[in-house]
Structure 1
Amino acid sequence: MSATRRQILSGAGASVAGIAFTGALSELFAGSASAASGVRAPGDRPPRGGYGPLVPDPRGLLDLPAGFRYKVLSRQGDPLRSGEGPVPSNHDGMGAFPGHRGRVHLVRNHENKTTGKLGVPTVPGLTYDPAAKGGCTVLELDGRNHVLGERVAVAGTAVNCAGGPTPWNTWLTCEETEDKAGTNGYAKDHGFVFEVDGADPRRTGAVPLTALGRFQHEAVAVDPRSGIVYETEDAFDRPFGLFYRFLPRKPLGGTGSLRAGGALEAMRVPGVPDLSAVRETGTRFEGVEWVPVPDPLAAETPIRFQDFGPKGITHAQKLEGCYWGGRAVYFVSSFARTGDGSAATHFGQVWKYEPHRRRLTLVVVFGPSTDIRLPGESPDNICLAPTGGLMVSEDGGGAQHVFGVSERGEVYPVARGRQNIGTPEEPEWGEFAGVTFSPDRSTMYVNCYTPGTTFAVTGPWHR
């Protein structure tokens, strides 16, 4: 992001950052918490201008609008309450699930490899590959966000970046790697999805869901009607990643059903080998095809390199967030650059796929061509907010924000990280990740990736 745009956005007094996106914004809110419930209370949306300017935090951790408060739930290096070891580093994707008596199970990814920062402690029965230092931890919270417990949920996985919730209230954590056994010190193949039950991690253990494919996973979304799992691939080199769907043999069967296997397919948009070439919001493609993946385990060849026939397959650079809303699945291309080999350059796209129509639509475009004041370069995961809008985490250089987007297209700051991981002369701030809301929509949970910190943010979300 250019210095000019960062200077505009980094001021603590900034409120509305301008119109950040072009496209059919209303498309994105069909699956929000309030819309899904079918009820929206009068005034259940932020006022024009969002929640107001950010107030500098005297503790130097997190700037928030007036009336909002944060609580630090967990920090890397502190002891896990289970006594299993220290809290791991590299806090990433996260999901919040209801527990008994108003409790919340907060499942948190740790994007670690084999070396480096604090890895997830190995625990018997919950460890896949002892050489890998990624995985998940889970916090158990009461209704006031007091931490009642904190423990390892799965260990021995690698580069756990994002994932997604299931309709039966488990978390699917995704490995963003395709390293095989013997590579980078790993003892087993990686590049899988693992299911995590936050209420009882031993129910799910450390079993890779191999039928969902072995590739550089980013995020997943589950169709609550059919049980079909949609998956994004964040491949770092050409040919870039694919968009997948997994057809389970036992759809919506609850915990463990995805182990029963199924069919993995990749999306083909006829005549479109690279989604970055599409520039105009509202562009639709009818008759989207799904092609069986020749070798889902990628025993010899990564899936994106495999032979999908004379018509080829559709690729896209930096496929990141993925979520279900209404009757469609939405997925994010964080950016594309011709210098990396993409067909065109963009600063972020949101795509909508409607399974019942086999229709793909470009609904939102981010970037400087939209507005010079954008907070929207390189959008990462997108969270549906209580007010029917979005929460977007920035993933770039300079100041790091969580921005909200109203249904009217207004962009407003929600949080700014203040933990300087650089120097006073050349400050640097850790990115935000894992934005999610409590089941009752009263609390926003968010991670700072570095230094690994998990926050609970409360305030007048529904005013």
Structure 2
Amino acid sequence: MERRTFLRGAVFGTSVAVFGGTLMQGAAYAAPAQNGASPYGGLLAADANGIMLPSGFTSRVIARSGQTVPGTSYTWHGAPDGGACFADGTGWIYVSNSELATGGGASAVRFSSSGSVTGAYRILSGTRNNCAGGATPWNTWLSCEEVSRGYVYETDPRGATAAVRRPALGQFKHEAAAADPVRKVIYLTEDEPDGCFYRFVPATWGDLSTGTLQVLVAGTAAAGSFTWANVPDPDGSPAYTRDQVSGAKIFNGGEGCHYANDTVWFTTKGDNRVWRLDLLSSTYELAYDDSLVTNGTAPLTGVDNVTGSSSGDLFVAEDGGNMEICIITPDDVVAPFLRINGQSGSEITGPAFSPDGRRLYFSSQRGTSGSSSGGITYEVTGPFRTTA
């Protein structure tokens, strides 16, 4: 059964860590977020692509599964999932995973400085259920296999260098990854109902071939302090990684993961929660929980991929719900940003901003058909705010 995710993860350009610390400075989140008015206003009637957007925003279709990407000769993959953007000279690249059980992998679309599509190509082949992942500060894409004892593959968004399997990051049901350039670690989520939250500490920052896999250790409460403990056998054999450390905190279906400004956010689909780790104080809390919304109907359900903007807003995609991307603002307001109509059999995946923060990319994994062969990848352009 196909399931979601993202990434959101940190997005980095060639000259500046776009969402790894340079942007989202000063975001001061309390918890948990409550229903409120969007800073972008309400959603308008659906456009020609079936997307409801705030005033001033427009959408376009970038690619459709099984069809040639317009302006190229490349056929777009099925079941598009996690994604990220990378600066590339004067333009940028959007990478997208394929959550197919066979022939998964990942592809990329290249854009000019004006946003025109100039190319599309494969960057990873021969893998399974590539769900989410994350970008690194050295401009590679970590593509994660969402299968039991799955791997992380480090790929080149430009397609010039062959992808490399990184077993040191552990073998488990990988979902998303987020790089922390301050502590020089990679955070990892696990899509299991009794999954854990991990970090990988490379022996050398920038080289993921060797290092130490650790798991978050904490109590059972929804808030508290945490520590890290080494995972004895990162290969997950004979015991799964999530079962190896006593006291490892259990999370119900880890999904998207995003780092910015000494903070990690990640989502858990089993309980519709967004978690926040304060890395300076080594504490955790709920940034959002649909069951704790006290002022009306919870707008965000089916939490999945997550990314961030320069304003400090989090953008959380829904797997299910009513096919929305919702925002969580630094002043703890949660509200819809967009909604896709007529695609209830799908999920939203792969939200990622262009390096300049003016364009948001994402996919509907199964589109209007409800099948992995019906995926659609979109771009939304408009006046994204730069400050909260």
TM-score bracket for this pair, using the shorter chain length? 0.7 to 0.9
3-state SS of 1:65 partner: coil
Q: Any stretches of 5+ residues in structure 2 without a counterpart?
A: 1-18, 28-35, 368-374
Cα RMSD, aligned residues only: 2.5
Where in structure 2 are the equivalents of 1:115-194 lying within 5 Å? 133-178=103-148, 191-194=150-153
Give the share of equivalent positions with the same residue, in percent.
Answer: 31
Report which of the two has the higher share of strand: 2
Following the alignment from structure 1 to structure 2, what is the Cα–Cα distance between the partners of residues 394 and 33?
27
- How far 1:48 sits from its partner (Å)? 6.0
Are residues 1:387 and 2:311 paired? yes
Aligned pair 1:52/2:44, yes or no? no
Partner SS, residue 211 of structure 1: helix
Deviations 1:7-63 (A, max 9, x none): xxxxxxxxxxxxxxxxxxxxxxx967643499xxxxxxxx96432332223524322
Q: 1:25 maps to what in 2?
A: none
TM-score (norm 2): 0.83
2:335 matches 1:412: yes
**CA 1:324–1:206: 2 relative to 1, 3 Å:** same
2:155 is matched with: 196
TM-score (norm 1): 0.70
Change (3 A) 1:298 1:410: closer
Q: Is the 8 A contact 2:82 2:350 kept in 1?
A: yes
Could you tell me which runs of 5 or more consecutive residues in structure 1 were left unpaired when the two chains were aligned.
1-29, 39-46, 115-132, 180-190, 337-346, 421-427
- Name the SS of the counterpart of 1:55 in structure 2: coil
Matched residue, 2:293: 370
Which of 51, 56, 65 lines up with 1:67 in the alignment?
Answer: 56
Match of 2:320 in 1: 396
Structure 1 SS opposite 2:330: coil
Write out aligned runs for 1:15-30 (5 A): none
Q: Distance in 2 between matches of 1:215 and 1:360?
A: 25
Task: Give the C-alpha shift of residue 158 in structure 1.
Answer: 1.0
Following the alignment from structure 1 to structure 2, what is the Cα–Cα distance between the partners of residues 94 and 58?
Answer: 24
**Which residue number in structure 2 is paired with residue 26 of structure 1?**
none
Q: Does 1:263 align with 2:263?
A: no
Partner of 2:277: 352
Aligned with residue 231 of structure 2, among 283, 290, 293: 293
- Equivalent of residue 439 in structure 1, options 335, 349, 355: 355
Within 5 A, what are the aligned runs for 1:231-250? Answer: 231-236=188-193, 240-250=194-204
Task: Give the Cα–Cα distance (whole angstroms) in 1 for the partners of residues 274 and 341 of structure 2.
Answer: 28
Q: Which residue of 2 aligns with 1:425?
A: none
Tell me the alpha carbon deviations over residues 75-102 of structure 1, each in whole angstroms, 9 at most, x when there is no partner: 1111257646x3111111110010112x
SS in 1 for 2:59: strand
Q: Which has the larger radius of gyration?
A: 1
The reply on whether 1:208 has 2:165 as its aligned counterpart is: yes
Aligned letter for 1:417?
A: I
What's 2:383 paired with?
Answer: 460
> Judging changes above 3 Å, is the alpha-carbon distance between structure 1 residues 192 and 408 closer, same or farther for their aligned structure 2 residues?
same
1: CA distance, partners of 2:262 / 2:384: 26
1:318 to 216, 237, 253: 253
Residue 289 of structure 1 and its aligned partner are, at CA, apart by 3.1
Q: Deviations over 1:149-174 (max 9, x none)?
A: 01101011111111111111221111
Given candidates 251, 258, 267, the residue that maps to 1:332 is 267
- Following superposition, the deviation at residue 139 of structure 1 comes to 0.4
Instruction: State how 1:30-49 maps to structure 2 within 5 Å.
Output: 34-36=23-25, 49=38
- 8 Å Cα contact 1:348-1:376 kept in structure 2: no
Q: Secondary structure at the match of 2:237?
A: coil
Distance 2:64 2:21 in 1: 29
Q: Does 1:112 align with 2:100?
A: yes
Contact 2:20/2:180, CA 8 A, preserved across alignment:
no
**2: CA distance, partners of 1:429 / 1:60:** 16
* Alpha-carbon contact 1:33-1:384 (below 8 Å) kept: no
1:76 matched residue in structure 2? 65
Letter in 2 for 1:461: F
Aligned partners of 1:353 and 1:408: how far apart in 2? 16
> Structure 2 vs 1, CA of residues 412 and 331 (structure 1 numbering), >3 Å: closer, same or farther?
closer
- AA aligned to 2:306 is I
Preserved contact between residue 24 and residue 260 of structure 2 (Cα < 8 Å):
no
CA deviation string 1:213-242 (max 9, x = no partner): 000011111111232111111114xxx111
CA offsets 1:280-314 (integer angstroms, 9 cap, x no match): xxx331xx3322212111233322233x3xx4432
Q: Distance in 2 between the 1:49 and 1:230 partners?
A: 29
Amino acid at match of 2:208: L
Number of residue pairs matched? Answer: 351
Contact 2:24–2:308 (Cα < 8 Å) also in 1: no
The 3-state SS of whatever aligns with 1:157 is coil
SS at match of 2:292: coil
Q: Distance in 1 between matches of 2:84 and 2:123?
A: 13
